Structure 1
Amino acid sequence: MNNAILAGILWHLVGAASAACFYAPFKRVRHWSWETMWSVGGLMSWLVLPWAVSAVLLPDFWGYFQQFSAAQLLPVFLFGAMWGIGNVNYGLTMRYLGMSMGIGIAIGITLVVGTLMTPLLQGRFMVLFSSAGGRMTLLGVLIALIGVIIVSRAGFLKERALGINAEEFNLKKGLVLAVLCGIFSAGMSFAMDAAKPMHEAAAAAGINPLYVALPSYVVIMGGGALVNLAWCFVRLAVKPSLSLKADFSLAKPLLGANIAFAMLGGLMWYLQFFFYAWGHANIPAQYDFVSWMLHMSLYVLCGGIVGLLMKEWHAVGRRPVRVLSVGCLVIILAANVVGMGMAG
């Protein structure tokens, strides 16, 4: 495995770790509705940071975006909106299935769809079977899926040991939402592929290869912001128990703390894709589709490790922890197999 591929995997690991930790600041928010908290954090991660980072990187911010036609930008934006729909469905999946089953189904589906649909749509899928490196890479994807399933099984054992149930368990509704979440969340992978002309233009403008994907986030995350913010604002407007005005009428110290924690959560959420771009830049072009597999599987891995460090598995017994450990090791094996496949 060469140094560039190893660096790519490690940067994807850093991004996944940020994704696994981003909700911790949100847990410090008090006396706010989830919709208000999510909107404030989202404004930071989907709008403020992508625009600010792009403004710093691009020599001519408006000139860069004006060089693309609406026909070029629209698919990028729509795939971003598709990913935004997956975000909304992810929360609902957790509500109706619980964390373990929800993560297992949703992440498993989005890992497969987001990873394999890109080369399939490009007509490159069968070509992967014609080389040893391609076959090993596909094997790594399969191993990663198995690892996600094992970690999800550990989560199920944990929930059963702790007596945790989904808020409103509904298997039929939850399964439909999990499938939709898995499919729509893959929009980020499709958006990154559709944004390749934007990446090439950024490189032509002299931007460091590690950063060339970041300006495209203005469009991608703009699509995601439209869906997520619309969902939150509609709920705030129509649900009697929710009130944006009441949320911002708290005492100034608490209000300031809530805004700060929500913005910190938004920053950490953005950083997952900041480092995703770094990882993606180090993956060989013919295997760029595996960036999504690395991100999603390492996200599950980091989520398990963070849970252990925060002692969330302290009172569940040995068996769930053993199963979690096996799942984490399988995901690590998958990353190594994919790395060797790309190097081959």
Structure 2
Amino acid sequence: MGIGILWVLMAAIMLGFYALPSKYIKNYAIENTWGIFWVLAMFVVPVIAAFALVNGLLDTYSQVSSSLFITILFLSILWGIGNLLWGISISKIGMALDFSLLIGVGTLSGSILPFFMGSADQLNTPRGMVILGGIFIIMIGIIANGKAGLLREKFENSDKDQSNTDSNKMRNGIIICVIGSICAAGFNLSYHVADNLGHIGQISQDQFGNAPWVARIAVMLPSFIGSGIATVLYFSSQLTKNKSWRNFKTPESSKNFGLLLIMALVYCTSLIIYGLGAYELGPLGTSVGFAIFQTGCIMVANLLGFFTSEWNNAGSLSKNWLFSGLFIMSIGIIVVAYGNAIS
């Protein structure tokens, strides 16, 4: 279990860093940057890795029912839609509230729903109750973290003109973000269906001798494909709408492509490592692992922001809420881990 938690935390750290190279991309519009990224991260990197590393990939898939693949595809498309809705809602409600809603609602739905997909009998056990208690402690920490972000935005924008604030815009933004957060949990649910219900990882390991981490590639490949369909279609339409295709002809394109490839490799690797951690955590790994994974992501993101001076002008009250939230989330991780250790 300790190894599983370490894998999940490592995945969270990597996911917190994956977008760093995007700061050095030049002369690309948003749709150029993220359109290429999603092509690489959802199609090119995972497909090449799967066919290069996984023994008996197609034979493994042939033993899984088509209805299960349809379920995986549906959930992974929801994942892609969720990412898009989250990005859209940022402009309406701001990064702090948006990120807190995304992580909070996503953690709640992505951690609890797997209980009802093959593990409902665990809910009334001491183990299940302690894990659920830990998840709700994490939720309290996330709420405190969101409060810190809102106070920070309010403090930093206190001297700015707020005449354009629109309550309808805020309400619509919150609705879009919540829907997007629920959809984004499709990532964890599609993995749960593929591994716990479809047993793709077990088939890949037992029948074809793949190592556990290699088998995770086979488990996640259908999810990558489904999410990629949603995101790539959206960014292709944006490239056409904004006439941004010509940006790919700029002299910086080779360097930009290299940076985006690094981002895609780190992103895919982090999700594969998460899958390995969830596998090591046992039957409830997708519930326990996802709660730790999401919590680790928000902790890494906030600590990175703190050490890169993003919180310098935030005020003491917002910093107190920030550290209180991080402390509470740490307690929640310990409780979740303890619950998973109960036999």
After TM superposition, is the score higher than 0.5?
Answer: yes
1:249 and 2:245 equivalent? no
> How far is 1:201 from its partner?
1.3
> Which residue matches 2:302?
304
Distance in 2 (CA, whole Å) between partners of 1:262 and 1:283 is: 32
Given candidates 128, 133, 157, the residue that maps to 1:163 is 157
Structure 1 residues 235, 288: CA separation in 2 closer, same or farther (over 3 Å shift)?
closer
Q: Counterparts of 2:171 and 2:114 in 1: how far apart (Å)? A: 29
Return closer, same or farther for 1:268/1:139 CA change in 2, 3 Å cut-off.
same
| 1:322 paired residue number | 320
Deviation at 1:209, TM superposition (A): 2.4
Name the stretch that deviates more: 160-169 or 229-238.
Answer: 160-169
Following TM superposition, by how much is the alpha carbon of 1:283 offset from its aligned partner in structure 2, in angstroms? 0.7
Provide the residue aligned with 2:224 in structure 1.
221
Partner residue, 2:240: 237
Q: CA deviation at 1:112?
A: 0.9
- Over aligned residues, Cα RMSD in angstroms? 2.1
Alignment of 1:142-157 (within 5 A): 142-157=136-151
**Residue in 1 that maps onto 2:205:** 203
Equivalence for 2:180: 181
Within-5 A mapping of 1:52-71 = 52-71=48-67
Structure 2: runs of 5 or more not aligned: none
Q: Could you tell me how far 1:291 is from its partner in structure 2?
A: 1.8
Larger CA deviation: 37-46 vs 60-69:
60-69
Q: Distance in 2 between matches of 1:272 and 1:250?
A: 30
Tell me which residue corresponds to 2:257: 259
Query: Which of 313, 319, 329 pairs up with 1:331?
Result: 329
Residues 172, 301 of structure 1: CA spacing in aligned structure 2 closer, same or farther, 3 A cutoff? same
SS of 1:212 mapped into structure 2:
helix
Conserved in 2, the CA contact under 8 Å of 1:50 and 1:215? Answer: no
Q: Which runs of 5 or more residues in structure 1 are unaligned?
A: none
How far apart, CA to CA, are the structure 2 residues paired with 1:132 and 1:218? 34
Tell me the residue number matched to 2:338.
340
Q: Which amino acid aligns with 1:32?
A: Y
Letter in 1 for 2:271: F
Partners of 2:86 and 2:180 within 8 A in 1: yes
Alpha-carbon deviations, 1:100-119, whole Å to 9, x = none?
A: 11112222111111111121
- What is the TM-score when the length of structure 1 is the normalising length? 0.91
Matched residue, 1:11: 7
Say if 1:41 and 1:264, in contact at 8 Å, map to a contact too. no
Equivalent position of 1:192 in the other structure: 191
Quote how far apart the aligned CAs of 1:271 are.
Answer: 2.4
Residues 57 and 218, structure 2, Cα contact 8 Å, conserved in 1: no
State how far apart, in whole Å, the 2-side matches of 1:65 and 1:18 are.
29
Q: SS where residue 267 of structure 2 aligns?
A: helix
1:84-103 equivalences under 5 Å are 84-103=80-99
Q: Deviations over 1:84-129 (max 9, x none)?
A: 111101101212111111112222111111111121243x446423
- Cα distance in structure 2, aligned partners of 1:15 and 1:294: 10
* CA contact 2:213–2:276 (8 Å) conserved in 1: yes
* Cα deviation 1:219-273 (Å, max 9, x = unaligned): 101000000000000111123xx321x211212xx22221122222222222220
User: In structure 2, what residue type is equivalent to 1:148?
Assistant: I
Asked if residue 128 in structure 1 is aligned to residue 123 in structure 2, the reply is yes
